[in-house]
Amino acid sequence: MAKSNAAAVKAIKEAAVSLVPAAKQPSEVFDDRGRTVPWMARTVHRLYDSQAQKILDRENIAIAYWYYLRVLAERGELNQLELSKRVGIASTTAVPALDNLEKRGLVQRTRDPNDRRKYFVNLKPEGKRLVDELLPELTDMISASLDGITQKDMRVFWKVMHQIEANLTQKAQGDTVVD
């Protein structure tokens, strides 16, 4: 009799597992709390943005504007379309941001001599000063977020992230620029 009860309990447990939503089942797509990689990436990104904004508030710079300044500091002069792609923002969205940054004296736009519809964007000295001043503190904040993570774990993390990026870029068939 005990054997039949054990078999019944096993059958009930197996049936219950099949009723659990896919998000609760262990897999490579979901973590133990039912979150996906994109969900966690978004959560971490929002947390970083929130912490970065606290630093940028001292200079009254919105996090969205910081991305433009950072790309220009690293890449130098870019045309407006290339800058938008590197920041990951639609070129039409870039116009008001660049208007604001230009009005504040942080960037300068100049017409492309070969195509008057296009503009080149570069950092002005005040924009460079801001990046030089704020980047070390932002880098420290990011570094502090990695406390307790070994170098080996970071190598694995970067390998995985780069592979995910390559997979998604291949699926996008090159319609985005990734920095």
Q: Which amino acid is at 176?
A: T
Instruction: pLDDT band for 23, please (50, 70, 90 cuts).
Output: very low
pLDDT given at position 134? 97
pLDDT the model gives residue 123: 97
pTM metric for this prediction: 0.74
Beta-carbon count within 10 A of 61 CB: 23
Task: Kindly tell me if the per-residue pLDDT of 105 is higher than 90.
Answer: yes
CB atoms within 10 A of CB 25: 12
Q: What is the mean pLDDT of the chain?
A: 86
Please tell me the predicted confidence (pLDDT) of residue 50: 96
Query: pLDDT tens, 33-47?
Result: 899 999 999 999 999
Please report the pLDDT score of residue 17 as a whole number.
Answer: 46
Per-residue pLDDT band for 16 (boundaries 50, 70, 90) equals very low
Q: Which pLDDT value is given to residue 25?
A: 53
- Please name the residues in contact with 68: beta carbons below 8 A apart, sequence gap of 6 or more: 83, 87, 94, 97, 98, 101, 107, 121
- What is the distance between the alpha carbons of residues 101 and 121, in angstroms, rounded to a whole number? 11
Query: Token pair of 51, please?
Result: 């912490």
Q: Residues 120, 78: contact at Cβ < 8 Å?
A: yes
Any idea which of 54-63, 126-135, 160-169, 170-179 has the lowest mean pLDDT?
Answer: 170-179
Domains of the chain in sequence order: 26-146 (1.10.10.10)
CA atoms within 13 A on the CB side of 148: 1
Query: SS3 letters for the chain?
Result: CHHHHHHHHHHHHHHHHHHCCHHHCCCCCCCCCCCCHHHHHHHHHHHHHHHHHHHHHHHCCCHHHHHHHHHHHHHCCEEHHHHHHHHCCCHHHHHHHHHHHHHCCCEEEEEECCEEEEEEEEECHHHHHHHHHHHHHHHHHHHHHCCCCCHHHHHHHHHHHHHHHHHHHHHHCCCCCCC
pLDDT tens, position by position, 110-169: 998 888 888 899 999 999 999 999 999 999 999 999 999 999 999 999 999 999 999 998
- With pLDDT > 90 as the criterion, what percentage of the chain qualifies? 65
Looking at per-residue pLDDT, the higher value among 4 and 141 belongs to: 141
Q: What is the pLDDT of residue 135?
A: 97
Reading the block at residue 134, the tokens are 């704020």
